[in-house]
Every structure is written in structure tokens, then in C-alpha cells.
Amino acid sequence: MKRRTLIAATAATAATAALAAAPLARGRAAAPATVHWWYHFDNPRASPAALVAAFEAANPGIRIMAESIPWGGGADYDNRLYTALVSGGGPDCAMVKLENLGRLMEMQALEDLGPMIDAWSGKADINPDIWRINTAPTGVRYYLPVQYVMLYLYVRRDWLDAAHLAPPASFPEFLHAAQAMTAKGHWGFGLRGASGGQDFWATFVLGGGAKLAKGGLVTPAAIAADAWFIDLFRKWKVCPPSAPTDGFLQTINNMKAGVTGMTIHHIGSANALVAALGDRITAVPVPRGPQGTGWATFGDGSNAIFAGSRNKEAAWRWLSFLSTAKNNVAFNLLTGQVTVTTSGAAHWTAEPKRFVEATLASLPLAHVFPAVPATAEFVSTVWPQMTQKALLGEITPAAMMQSFEKLYFG
């Protein structure tokens, strides 16, 4: 290790230890500090101003400079953050996603929050599965969770009742339910073959025996799982004819219109579906595969403190404030996602209780795609192109999986 790197690493370790050991005084910071925090909300009219005011009133020695950064599909926000950090002009802390983690670790841009998290009274109020998914592969905790969603299965309960079926919990039950719901003019499952549909695929293929590890996408079990997924459209015909090109709007609008009986999304669609269907729509965790395992994509949102910040203690106070009890509930009423706190979820009213329960019940199945460069290309280009070809019979499921294996592992 170079001397400069060793000195920096030693200093960072000492600073982290000092922060963990120092008491976090109530009411004021040890010295006046300005914390620059970057954030993004889906609703551009939503503002954290009330939370900032409440924090500053309780911490008069700290000023929060909250800056809304355009999301731009993710790339705009990410590129601006990386550029600012490289130039030395980045914020003290910012909202980040797990897909950023690998790049930020490679840049050595993150502060280890582990000691501060362990000393924080709010730690136990966050579900262990959320901590699990937010921990780096090295075991270090760089992220403090602040919001999340879980992908689950939306189901027309009246269609299930008509077929005398319970919500499906396994792949065979899912296929049986989809077949029972499919009749002239409507279909059992709204499959998303366009961009974003990799989460549907992951539920049935990664949840059905394939693994995102070298060789794990081309085993007989992996190819069989992919063939089962493709056959939902080609063989069993339980999906609308438009499925190969259907995106988010098409799958949700088909549910609203009574075209499909099941689809996959998160709580963000709950209120719109209830407005259209009332009590006829419900949600349950995605079905588990033949090995009893499952995959439900975790939509994350966390905060991180950057190693270059000169106000780490003040930044920690602000971020931990946002992830605490009623503050986190107020934050997520702005973002449209779900509180990370167990106490807040027990009293959540932004969506009907059954959708909150489905979200919580899905946490043991929570997974994310690996934070490696190949994932961006997989999601944006390779997955939709290869999947559409397989759904249309232009390539085999084996060829589809071989293309994914090549992308990730060469």
C-alpha cells in the first residue's frame, strides 16, 4: 500500500472510531456545521423543507443544505454525483442506491457507517432483512436505509374466488391460477417483456434455480427455469399477445382494465389499482421456486456519507434523523415508498394495509442484481432484446441464457 493511501486509510479509521465513541449530544452539535445533502424525489413538488426545519430546530448548531438533483432515469443523478466526488466538490452525504455501491467502493468514496449504526438507538427498528440487503459484499455497512419497495404479485382476488383458488405460493400453483384466469378476452398473467421486465424474469428464473455466478446461468436447471418462464407465453398462452413489447404502463393498465389477473410490481401501484378495482385487487409475495427459494426484487433507497466530508458527525445526525420512527414515515410520505422502520410500518396509512403486509412478507425473498458494470447493459439492452426474441420463437431459451452468461462472465 502506498504511504499516502495508508495514511488516509489510518486517518479514516481513526475518525470513524472517534465518531462511534463520541456521545451524540442532544439539541446541538459540538461545533457549527453545514451539511450538504443531495436527494431525489419522484414528485418534483415534494420537498423535505419541513423535515429540515424540524431537524435544525432540534440541532441549532447544524445547517442542512438540501439540494434536489434531477433523477433523469438514474444516469443523470449518478453521473453528476460521481463527477462531483472525483472533483472534490461533492456533497457531505446523499441518497444512493445499491447499484452505485460497487462504483463508490472502487472510488474509495464512502465512509464506513458500521460503528455509528451499532451505537444508534434506531438500529433495532429496521428489519434485519433490510440491513442484510444493504450490507456490502465485504461485510461493511456503508449505507443507512431510508426507503424501499418490494416487488410482489398483484392478484385479482375475485378471479381467484371464482376459480376456488387460493393466492399462488409456488410455481405450479401460479401456472394453475394463470390458466384458470385465462379465457376469451382476458389472461392470467401480465408479463412485461420490454425494459424493466428483468424483475419478472428474475422471479421465475433466478428464483427457479439459475444463479448469477459463473456457469450458473447455463446449468440444466437454469435453462429449464428459463424455458418455463418463456412457456408462460409460448406454450401455455396465459399472457396477452402484446406481452413481448409490454412495459410498465401496459402491464398496470391491463390490470386496471380487467385484461389480466396477475402481474408483478410494488406498492407504488397500489392506490391506482385500488381506485380502479377496489377490494377486488390484492397482493401476495411472489411464488417460490421448486427448491423452495424465491426472488423478489428489492427497490432500495439509502443514504451514505462520503469519505471526503468534513462534517461527518453532523451528517450522521441528519441521516439518522431521517431514518428514525416518525421522521422516516414523514420522509416516505414524500417519496411514495415504504418506511424502513418496523414501528412506522405498523401504523402506515398511505396505502391499504394488505399491500403493506405483502411488502413486509416479501422481505425474506429480497434480492438485487449485482452492482457490476454488466448489470446496466443487461437491464437496458441485453435482457429486453434477448427475451423478446425468445418470446417470439426467434431464439431458444438456451441461447437466451447463454447470451446472459457471456455478458456477465465472458
Note the pLDDT tens digit of each residue in 29-48. Answer: 455 799 999 999 988 899 99
DSSP state of 204: I
Q: Is there a single domain that holds both residue 109 and residue 184? A: no
Structurally, how many domains does the chain consist of? Answer: 2
Q: Is there a single domain that holds both residue 166 and residue 272? A: yes
Q: Is there a single domain that holds both residue 209 and residue 184? A: yes
Whether 25 shows a pLDDT value over 80: the answer reads no
Q: Is there a single domain that holds both residue 34 and residue 164? A: no
- CATH number at 101 reads 3.40.190.10
Give residue-wise pLDDT tens across range 270-290: 999 999 999 999 999 999 999
Strands lying side by side in the sheet with 281-284: 262-265, 152-156, 281-284
Q: Is there a single domain that holds both residue 293 and residue 304? A: no
Q: What angle do CA 267, 272, 275 make, to 5 degrees?
A: 125
- Tell me the residue range of the domain where 38 lies: 3-149+299-351
Q: Is there a single domain that holds both residue 248 and residue 385? A: yes
Residue scoring higher pLDDT (32 or 223):
223
Question: Where do we find the cell 432500495?
Answer: 300
User: Can you tell me whether residue 150 is helix, strand or coil?
Assistant: strand
Give residue-wise pLDDT tens across range 335-351: 999 999 999 999 999 99
Whether 379 shows a pLDDT value over 80: the answer reads yes
Q: Is there a single domain that holds both residue 291 and residue 317? A: no
Cβ-contact 311, 99 below 8 angstroms: no
What is the pLDDT, as a whole number, of residue 272? 96
Out of 351, 377, 392, a domain closes at 351
Q: Average of pLDDT values for 354-382?
A: 92
Backbone angles phi, psi at 404, to 5 degrees: -70, -40
Please report whether residue 361 resides in a domain. no
Tell me what the pLDDT averaged over the chain comes to. 91
Q: Is there a single domain that holds both residue 91 and residue 17? A: yes
Whether 22 shows a pLDDT value over 60: the answer reads no
Q: Average of pLDDT values for 231-244?
A: 98
Please report whether residue 160 resides in a domain. yes
Q: Is there a single domain that holds both residue 284 and residue 308? A: no
Q: Is there a single domain that holds both residue 167 and residue 86? A: no
Residues with Cβ < 8 Å from 88, sequence gap 6 or more?
308
Cβ neighbours, 10 Å, residue 399? 13
